[in-house]
Structure 1
Amino acid sequence: MKQLEDQSRRFRLAYGTAALTVGILTTGWGLVFAYMQAWSLAVMDAALIVTAFASYALTRRHQLSAALFLSQFSFLAIVIVFCLLFDVPSAVAPRVSHLFLLVLALLGYINYQRENSRLQVALIALCLVSFVFFASTNFRVPYADPIADEFRIYGSWLNTIVAIIMLCGGVYAMQREFARNLDQARDLKAALTNREFELFYQPQVDQTGKLTGAEALLRWKRPGGGYVSPAEFIPVAEEAGFMPVIGDWVFNESCKTLVFWQQDAATRDLKLSVNVSVDQFMKDDFVDTVLARLTTLEIDPTRLKLELTESMMADDVDLIVSKMSALRTAGVTISLDDFGTGYSSLSHLRRLPIHEIKIDRSFVQEAPGNKRNQLLLKSIFDIARTLDMSVVAEGIETKEQFLLLQSFGCTVFQGYYFGRPLPLPGFHKQWAHDSAPPLAETA
């Protein structure tokens, strides 16, 4: 997580510096145009200055997404207008302002890697189409007011140099990011071979704090270092195509835990929740592999929960329903994880053969002070009761959150308020023979 934070900080710094540079450079040109009493150009530069410094301010306030979209929308419109009205090519100097459209397209691509959206793709496409148009034609509107050639000849050199520097900076930033991901992908592959992965277990309890089960959470312990957060390596593993292999390892280790639990009367009835990635679930033999493993190890299928994310709904829903139905028929509990943040709709929820939904932690943590969130949560519980589904609330960190969810009828709870994820020995030491220590102490 620290590496992710450092990366985000570096990106904010780089983007903030670029915005500030553009603002300062444009201010200089604005003063020149004002001195020349070229007021239309001065107004255009003023718009650029406002956009640049507003983006810089948003970046300083850690609102990077807002800064990026503001920059792209505003600069795209300004560059297009500038090319049509003022930067008209002549025999003395070519049009160069359109070069900044490539910078905007690159910026859009970098932002798309951070936060996928169709709007971002549309912006990138518009930048590239506009660039091709201005690079391939000498089009000008009839009422254009071209900049005087004696100024454009210097501006063409300066703007071209600045645009190329910005492009090089963006390419360098992307190269660093790709290299980092490639190095981490290699480390992940080695981690599988060297058995550097480990499962932690976070307790799940009922209304009284009695232990009912746990969620198996993947951790990666680097040699000679600390644990790497899943938020950092899971996206890299997904991109590298490692999730099916990692997921199989997690499932096999979870089965070993269930075998171990059924040998002790204190843990015999506990259920274990296991996260399943989209790539792993969509494997042709996934259902057969799961059921065969349970049969071979003589594990009661009702003690296994498979947690599937809403993003899975973007794939073949009919196939997903078929796989879920086969697992449910065998007795495996199907849980829809991070409910409310993905692709699910009421029609999907009605069709899916799931036993429970797991409310995303963002709804839980904001609920006590947010009436709209409370109403939304209450509606989720009402829908779940109507469809005969149970609800798990995760991310509970305070007594206030616990009592609020309890008042809505929640029966399964998970979060730091009850216990942090622990390696299996620590989990057993704290929970195996003590039904509700954290709740009894803090409630």
Structure 2
Amino acid sequence: MNTPSAFYKQVLKLWHAPDLALIGQRRERRMRLLASLVLVLLGTIWGCFFMLRGAWGIVLSDVVLILCGLGVFVLTRRNQVRRANLLLFGVMIVVVVGMTLLLDPHTAAAPRATHLYLLPLAVAALMAFRDEPLWLRYGVSLLCFALFTGLAASAWSPVSGYGLPDEVRVVGSWVQGGAAMLLLFMLLHILQSDAAERSVLDRDLLAALRDEQFVLHYQPQLNSAGRVIGAEVLIRWQHPQRGLVPPIEFIGHAEKTGLIIPIGKWVLEQACTQLRIWKDDPLYRDIGLAVNISQNQFRQAAFVPDMLDLIAVHGIEAHRLELELTETLIVQDMEDLVRKMVALADHGVRFSLDDFGTGFSSLSHLKRLPLNTLKIDRSFISDVLTDASSETIVRTVIGLGQSMGMTVIAEGVETEAQQRFLASNGCVQFQGYLFSKPLPLQEFAAFVARQHG
């Protein structure tokens, strides 16, 4: 097993986004909601203005602006982030360019100023599309910069007669310029703040690695007789100031940056070490451990030999180690996935499909994979007694697993009524707060002793 110092050197590890990922998402969500309301407000104001002037063509465009604002609002509420961002930035770019050309023509008395909003839009696009492909993230920003350059260097306007009076635009130029620069400053400040937070978190994580602040918790998996037959291994960060930090606050960022690879390797190594310790203890030697495997981790070319080396070095029985895969993973590179799974399954490693029913896997995928276990997602279990669709899905998954010779385990079981329903439909393995929350190692050992006593 790697020493703490070796593991520390091996990793430049995840930048735990304690709240940063979640705070960033909430911040962007609020910004989109605010922007949608601004679109509705601007569309209403300009629509009324041009309605009084009888410019019905522009009134129609303002109606479109209002509808787009409502669309962004609805998409944001539904968490359809990409569509909301594309609609928002598409409309904002068209609005800024249109207003610059039609309402803000360059004159000797009043230079253009509306096009200045393209600068904060370019910076905002870098933030909004940060998790999108590079062509989209940088394409929107570069488009804004290109349009800004063209409008700043030209006095061309497609039509005349819609421009505001110069005496209004002289004051407006100062207001527009000040507002655009204020927006740009605010966005740059947010970017700088994010970078500073990441720097602090990087240092915290490196300290966590050096000082062994990461710990594993174990959530028991029980059979119908109430005996512990396994446990799911879950990582936690025991932060010296913030206390116990759950994985939801850092695993997502680790996935995006690739830092999940050394984290996952550490978790696997700790799990194998624990299985070796239990191997000679009659109370625990039949208990298996399930470890979640990320997409980035499984795609590593050396994943199979590294796994086999871990099993050999620790001298454990491979069938006591179960690797949990998600549905997202199995629709990526099917051929590579099958090849690696078969190679490990041939040595006894078990596989489970986590959160089954929430992704895009199909029967054609399932029949090709050497899966041992299907895990019913907790979202279906939570309302299985009150929602007919969830009930049907749960019954179907149980029947499907049994027909394909797989074990079916239900996650998130919280009530005895849920357990009775599952048991009556043929599910005989359970995991959830009805039995136990994820426990530190010593508490898990005590739980096993009580259940088997």
**3-state SS of 1:434 partner:** helix
- Alignment match, 2:248: 231
The yes-or-no answer on 1:338 pairing with 2:355 is: yes
The yes-or-no answer on 1:254 pairing with 2:271 is: yes
Alpha-carbon offset, residue 304 of structure 1: 0.8
- Alignment match, 1:440: none
**3-state SS of 2:129 partner:** helix
1:375-422 deviation line (CA, Å, top 9, x unaligned): 333333344344333332212223343344434432322111221001
Q: Are the aligned partners of 2:119 and 2:144 in contact in 1 as well (CA < 8 Å)?
A: no
- Alignment match, 2:187: 170
Alpha-carbon offset, residue 19 of structure 1: 6.4
User: Letter of the aligned partner of 2:367 in structure 1?
Assistant: R
User: Letter of the aligned partner of 1:368 in structure 2?
Assistant: L
**3-state SS of 2:382 partner:** helix
- Alignment match, 1:439: none
Q: Are the aligned partners of 1:336 and 1:358 in contact in 2 as well (CA < 8 Å)?
A: yes
User: Letter of the aligned partner of 2:150 in structure 1?
Assistant: S
- Alignment match, 1:194: 211
- Alignment match, 1:441: none
Structure 1 unpaired stretches of 5+ = 437-443
Counting only pairs closer than 5 Å after superposition, residues 40-119 of structure 1 correspond to structure 2 as 65=81, 71-72=88-89, 74-83=91-100, 85-90=102-107, 92-113=109-130, 116=131
Structure 1 residues 383 and 101 mapped into 2: Cα distance closer, same or farther (>3 Å)? farther
User: Letter of the aligned partner of 2:413 in structure 1?
Assistant: I
Alpha-carbon offset, residue 221 of structure 1: 0.3
The yes-or-no answer on 1:389 pairing with 2:403 is: no
Q: Distance in 1 between matches of 2:418 and 2:188?
A: 46
Structure 1 residues 388 and 225 mapped into 2: Cα distance closer, same or farther (>3 Å)? same
Q: Distance in 1 between matches of 2:221 and 2:237?
A: 22
Q: Distance in 2 between matches of 1:127 and 1:38?
A: 32
Alpha-carbon offset, residue 277 of structure 1: 2.4
Give the stretch that moved more between structures: 97-106 or 254-263.
97-106
The yes-or-no answer on 1:3 pairing with 2:19 is: yes
Q: Distance in 1 between matches of 2:97 and 2:250?
A: 40
- Pick one of 337, 343, 347 that aligns with 2:364: 347
Q: Are the aligned partners of 1:26 and 1:49 in contact in 2 as well (CA < 8 Å)?
A: yes
The two structures have a TM-score, normalised by structure 1, of 0.80
Q: Distance in 2 between matches of 1:95 and 1:294?
A: 69
- Alignment match, 1:375: 392
Counting only pairs closer than 5 Å after superposition, residues 193-342 of structure 1 correspond to structure 2 as 193-313=210-330, 315-342=332-359
Give the stretch that moved more between structures: 320-329 or 161-170.
161-170
Structure 1 residues 349 and 160 mapped into 2: Cα distance closer, same or farther (>3 Å)? farther
Give the stretch that moved more between structures: 382-391 or 264-273.
382-391
Structure 1 residues 203 and 277 mapped into 2: Cα distance closer, same or farther (>3 Å)? same
Q: Distance in 2 between matches of 1:359 and 1:270?
A: 21
Q: Are the aligned partners of 2:99 and 2:114 in contact in 1 as well (CA < 8 Å)?
A: yes
Structure 1 residues 216 and 331 mapped into 2: Cα distance closer, same or farther (>3 Å)? same
1:332-354 deviation line (CA, Å, top 9, x unaligned): 10122233444534433332222
The yes-or-no answer on 1:147 pairing with 2:161 is: no
User: Letter of the aligned partner of 1:361 in structure 2?
Assistant: R
Q: Distance in 1 between matches of 2:171 and 2:414?
A: 61
Q: Distance in 1 between matches of 2:296 and 2:71?
A: 41
- Alignment match, 1:136: 150
- Alignment match, 1:356: 373
Q: Distance in 1 between matches of 2:452 and 2:413?
A: 18
Give the stretch that moved more between structures: 326-335 or 102-111.
102-111
Of all paired residues, the percent bearing the same amino acid is: 37
Structure 1 residues 406 and 300 mapped into 2: Cα distance closer, same or farther (>3 Å)? same
Q: Distance in 1 between matches of 2:102 and 2:201?
A: 48
- Alignment match, 1:424: 441
Alpha-carbon offset, residue 15 of structure 1: 5.8
User: Letter of the aligned partner of 1:132 in structure 2?
Assistant: A
The yes-or-no answer on 1:185 pairing with 2:202 is: yes
Q: Distance in 1 between matches of 2:255 and 2:206?
A: 12
Structure 1 residues 283 and 68 mapped into 2: Cα distance closer, same or farther (>3 Å)? closer
**3-state SS of 2:344 partner:** helix
Give the stretch that moved more between structures: 63-72 or 422-431.
63-72
Alpha-carbon offset, residue 324 of structure 1: 0.8
Give the stretch that moved more between structures: 149-158 or 2-11.
2-11
Q: Distance in 2 between matches of 1:99 and 1:408?
A: 64
Structure 1 residues 298 and 122 mapped into 2: Cα distance closer, same or farther (>3 Å)? closer
**3-state SS of 1:252 partner:** helix
Q: Would you say how many aligned residue pairs link Structure 1 and Structure 2?
A: 432
The two structures have a TM-score, normalised by structure 2, of 0.78
Alpha-carbon offset, residue 188 of structure 1: 1.8
Q: Distance in 1 between matches of 2:139 and 2:24?
A: 27
Alpha-carbon offset, residue 216 of structure 1: 0.9
Q: Are the aligned partners of 2:373 and 2:409 in contact in 1 as well (CA < 8 Å)?
A: yes
Q: Are the aligned partners of 2:43 and 2:62 in contact in 1 as well (CA < 8 Å)?
A: yes
Alpha-carbon offset, residue 212 of structure 1: 1.2
Structure 2 unpaired stretches of 5+ = 1-16
Structure 1 residues 67 and 296 mapped into 2: Cα distance closer, same or farther (>3 Å)? closer
Q: Distance in 2 between matches of 1:403 and 1:228?
A: 33
- Alignment match, 2:13: none
Q: Distance in 1 between matches of 2:420 and 2:116?
A: 58
Alpha-carbon offset, residue 122 of structure 1: 5.6
Q: Are the aligned partners of 1:102 and 1:128 in contact in 2 as well (CA < 8 Å)?
A: no
User: Letter of the aligned partner of 2:19 in structure 1?
Assistant: Q
